[in-house]
Amino acid sequence: MGWIQELRDLIKEFSFYEIVYEYQQGLFFRAGKAIEVRRRKFKENELERIVAEEKQAINLITGNKRLKKLLYYIPFARPKLPEKYKRSFWTGKPLHPARFSKILDPGLYFFLPIVEEIVKDSQQEQVLNLESISVPTTDDRIITVSANIRFYVHDYFKAYTAVHDFRKSLKDHSLSILSECSIGKAYDDWKKPEFIKSLSGMVETELRKIVTRNWGISIQQVYITDHAESRYIKHVHEANRINVDMNKEEGYSI
């Protein structure tokens, strides 16, 4: 029944929890702003390094005296924290900035509907199929080129906030780079396998300058899937129309 589906959609819309799976990355928005949350996963030996640096920060501030360390527990007497450090809610002690991230680790997260939102996307490798483009050669021929891109998102915060619709933007930008790298070549160049390989490498290098650095997208490989000479074919009725127009201009009756 229709009202049952509407009820399901309403419950889903006002859901108060979200699961980020192992193959995904997520972002937590509150009042339109991405916020940092406590990390749940750390690389090998990373947590030990973080704890050691936190202890070092405490000793640097307090002079390693037990009495002064108690100041962290007194709300109005707490020492000033080092830059980018956060303060523990319960103890007031400094928390290393590496304990927090805007990118959510896999797990279950609760949020308030309307005020808060969790968005997520895959961090698996993906293959993007580019549309064919036609580029001129230096000897007045036209080459049609097709390519694929193998990539994955390594920083979802950048991919989501730095560019609108990162998949579409990646496709459009890749076609532009492919066109720039392909123009100005001779027709015979396209017959050489080493040229095709070199062209793929040029596109990879240029893409990484913007896409990897600014958009958080790692380019694994660019490969040319097809290239062939384009031939323009005129239909018979188009040729007849051109002849009729020429006769009219010369004053002949048809």
Residue ranges and CATH numbers for the domains of the chain are 2-118 (no CATH), 125-229 (3.30.479.30)
How far apart CA 12 and CA 7 sit, in angstroms, is 9
Q: What does the mean pLDDT of the chain come to?
A: 84
pLDDT at 7: 65
pLDDT at 13: 67
**Residue 93: other Cβ atoms inside 10 A:** 20
pLDDT at 244: 44
pLDDT in tens, 94-145: 899 999 999 999 999 999 888 999 999 999 999 999 989 999 999 989 999 9
Identify the weakest region by mean pLDDT among 75-84, 90-99, 175-184.
Answer: 75-84
Helices 166-182 & 193-207, crossing angle to 10 degrees?
130
pLDDT at 72: 60
Residues with Cβ within 8 Å of 114's Cβ and at least 6 positions away in sequence, in order, are: 14
Which one has a higher pLDDT value, 150 or 60?
150
What is the maximum span of the chain, computed from C-alpha positions, in angstroms?
Answer: 110
Helix (H) or strand (E) holding 209: none
